[in-house]
Chain A
């Protein structure tokens, strides 16, 4: 468990004005769905205590008949988010930033918008107390970009499962964060997913999963995280996650019931990759730890292939460096003790794999991590 990973999850299902912001069935379940993945050691691996959940309370789901909405406390609001954000990012003793060499997830589900003048992807979530001309909001992108600018975390994952209607008269709520860019900002990886492109509509839908309603982005994200191919460490890269989700989207969300007028397939989410490099996510797939022992003394190069894996490893004196095709980032695994010998372990999918050694075609073997165990190189 990475004690330094954090998350703020905001799900707003009810608003003071149910005409301007119609009730939503998805956000509370979206938050629960994301949280379940986050707390899983094989998923987000975020300690429960580090997850701030700001969701519509049950009391607001069905206020008593005749209740005056003006008398209710409409939450979550902007103040609740700022408190959570500051709890994570500001040192209470010094008042200075706490910079962490870890990851923060910023997740939003509800009614949202984008500002007409945006030139890059941005979105904000209206808060529950939005009413009439008052349109308080939490500009998720603004916070994520600020966290990057100040280098509060090494990695930032922003998920905005909300509409991005263009608003001419709404503006992103201001929050005073240092405008000075940290020298470390360039290395911070910010990966963002929006339910839709600017001026697009997000959708929620009832699924067979006990009739629960989820936002499509949230549903697709968790499903892709659970299904997408993993690397040798059992992780899903943000690029592969995006490709997997986009390739499966049409299949997952095409209308299943014939309609008199064809129902269009919802547009896939908008993804903004991290410029500074890949972000890797844990996978809840049933992966198998595959040990290898290294008996060869000289350097050699091996290739490991399966249905969804194709990597090359360069065995050195101290460890092995794995490269994936078309991926500039390498994974270096130091040798350790495996069954009393020098070796390493990989987390592989439970399916047949082929291991070949450069220049020694006779050494090619096929193995299944579920059956075979230690493999000698």
Chain B
């Protein structure tokens, strides 16, 4: 702003602009259509007398105030009417308001999650039909551990609607990493991370939209549109509408890449500070890079607050720290390189470089985690399964084939098992595999499957299966799976195994080494599951348990 205006300006007048929920983005526009100031929740700034308007918006819903005059010596308070947007949270003034207490009835001091599913058509009088439709959608939701084990089907946890078109489910969960899973199409499911903390209690709100999904022609819940709130486990009161509205406004601003923020620093109606870790994370992203030279630099304060509440190793805390460091380096023109480096060093705590506990909550966090130098290994360790990123500008949502995480978890467990098992036990287990094949009419099919996989997975298979010892092992497996030999030795299959084993004739250490590599190959390519089915078992986990039991039994002999 040109200071030359001050030569002409009349004394400025404090102008306050407020909104019903204290949350909207506000842009003060003067009579020349220039932007005089901007802020969130409330604007209070000195302006020269004149005609003004305010653009108020949340997400893409925007409203423009009537013109108002700022007159000399008369501070003015302009109250806007608010914008009515759809919110999964039951916030007064939104287009989807419904009188509900966000966390009423929650057992305090207990860890867990509340999941509330609402219908935009609640209260329309068509509650019966509405609830049936909503119940179908609830039936597509469940909570799983990060390892893929189902904790609870939401349809099993809900008895009756707590209100017209509203289901609320409280789930007690031990602190840890979980996922909220939604069944999708084509044997795939969408997932979002649920971080259950000892001191912070999450509430997830989902809203069944008014309009049907163009692809399915039905109204569908969308994880991408969910609202999430963390409340302190021992909080005596419900979050206020203002707190929820600020979180919603900030969520929409983040998803739209807006250059506005500051919601986390706003006080409550009594002027007391309010802290919410998710709000702090979102606001930190919105306010990046911040001013590293400023006292009480807000971004640093927000990140420190989030780290204090959620833990320094929380994926989103790590991500926003990285984002902050990068932004500081990008802003070198605003400070000396030494200042920036020193500040970045402070942000790059050891936790940043440590392992990731799991998927982040925010999609912005995921992007920053991807930018890290050691991203591939850290993300692979945190998400050791095949997945695709779902379109969502706020939350980090991934889709996966049903069972992808549990299989990956089993593989991780069993690979570790193979690595840790002693050589003696390995020999016993290997012989057990031979016996399983020798006893089964489908044994030969399994051996062919192994060879087929080896030929397709050249990187692993070629080196292993070109090994002379491995070729002997395959020949021995061919022998025990030969239908004619199986028939000949049907009275004593152990004898067939012993004869096949005898053909190996390689030094003991070479055999053990090759068998370990072979076992690892089988586990990695999930081929033991097939063997489990041959043996009448249904899953790899069972097979491993079975193998362990066999192993234990042998030791007792």
Contact = CB atoms under 8 A, between A and B. Distances in A.
A268 B56 CA distance: 13
Nearest to A303: B8
A47 to B, nearest CB: 30
A247 interface: yes
A228 B34 contact: no
Contacts of A268: 60, 62
Contacts of B2: 312, 323-325, 330
Contacts of A325: 1-2, 5, 30, 32, 34, 36
A346 interface: no
B267 interface: no
A310 B31 contact: yes
Interface in B38-92: 50, 53, 55, 60-64
Contacts of A117: 389, 391
B38 to A, nearest CB: 11
A229 B61 CA distance: 25
B4 interface: yes
Nearest to B36: A326
Nearest to A165: B214
Contact of A312 (B8, B29, B55): B8
A246 B64 contact: yes
A267 interface: yes
Nearest to B48: A325
Contacts of A303: 5, 7-8
A198 B258 CA distance: 13
Interface in A182-224: 197-200
Nearest to A266: B60
A250 B5 contact: no
Contacts of B367: 119
Nearest to A246: B55
A304 B36 CA distance: 18
Nearest to A251: B64
Nearest to A307: B31
Contact of B4 (A228, A243, A247, A323): A323
Q: What does DSSP make chain B's interface, helix, strand, loop or mixed?
A: mixed
Interface string A116-134: 1101110000000000000
B62 A249 contact: yes
Contact of A197 (B32, B63, B256, B389): B256
Given A197-B60, A199-B391, A312-B2, A356 B33 contact: no
B8 A358 contact: yes
A200 B256 CA distance: 12
Given A239-B35, A325-B34, A356-B8, A250 B63 contact: yes
Given A116-B391, A239-B34, A326-B34, A247 B29 contact: yes
A40 interface: no
Nearest to B391: A116
B388 to A, nearest CB: 9
Nearest to B389: A117
Size category of the binding interface on chain B: 20 to 34
A62 interface: no
Contacts of B391: 116-117, 166, 168, 199
B393 interface: yes
A301 B33 contact: no
B116 to A, nearest CB: 24
A244 interface: yes
A329 to B, nearest CB: 11
Nearest to A240: B33
Contact of A308 (B31, B53, B63): B31
Contacts of B53: 247
A327 interface: yes
A84 interface: no
Contact of B35 (A249, A267, A326): A326
B362 to A, nearest CB: 13
Nearest to A272: B257
A168 B391 CA distance: 8
Nearest to A166: B391
Nearest to A114: B391
B60 A198 contact: no
A368 interface: no
B64 A247 contact: yes
Interface string A28-62: 00000000000000000000000000000000000
Interface string A228-248: 110000000001100110110
Nearest to B54: A247
B393 A198 contact: yes
A198 B252 CA distance: 12
Nearest to B259: A273
Nearest to A247: B64
A243 B29 contact: yes
Nearest to A268: B62
A309 interface: yes
A145 interface: no
Nearest to B67: A247
Nearest to B393: A198
Q: Which of A244, A250, A326, A358 has the most CB of B within 10 A?
A: A326
Contacts of A116: 389-391
A358 B6 CA distance: 10
A314 B31 contact: no
A307 B32 CA distance: 8
Given A117-B389, A312-B2, A243 B33 contact: yes
A307 B33 CA distance: 11
B393 A301 contact: no
B8 A229 contact: no
A232 to B, nearest CB: 12
B30 A310 contact: yes
Q: Which of B55, B367, B391 has the most CB of A within 10 A?
A: B391
Interface string A307-347: 11110101000000001111100100000000000000000
Given A117-B389, A121-B257, A250 B32 contact: no
B392 to A, nearest CB: 9
Interface string A100-118: 0000000000000000110
Given A168-B391, A314-B4, A267 B32 contact: no
B62 A246 contact: yes
A60 to B, nearest CB: 26
Contacts of A198: 393
B60 A267 contact: yes
A166 B5 CA distance: 47
Nearest to A327: B34
Interface in B378-409: 389-391, 393
Contacts of B35: 239, 243, 326
17 contacts: A197-B256, A199-B391, A200-B60, A229-B32, A243-B33, A243-B35, A246-B55, A250-B64, A268-B60, A270-B256, A301-B7, A312-B8, A324-B34, A326-B1, A326-B36, A358-B7, A359-B7
Q: Which 8 A-B pairs have the closest CB atoms?
A: A116-B391, A323-B2, A267-B60, A240-B33, A358-B7, A243-B33, A312-B4, A303-B8
Given A117-B391, A247-B53, A324-B34, 12 more contacts: A119-B367, A120-B257, A121-B257, A249-B62, A250-B64, A267-B62, A310-B30, A312-B2, A314-B4, A325-B5, A326-B30, A327-B34
Interface of B: 1-2, 4-5, 7-8, 27, 29-36, 50, 53, 55, 60-64, 256-257, 367, 389-391, 393
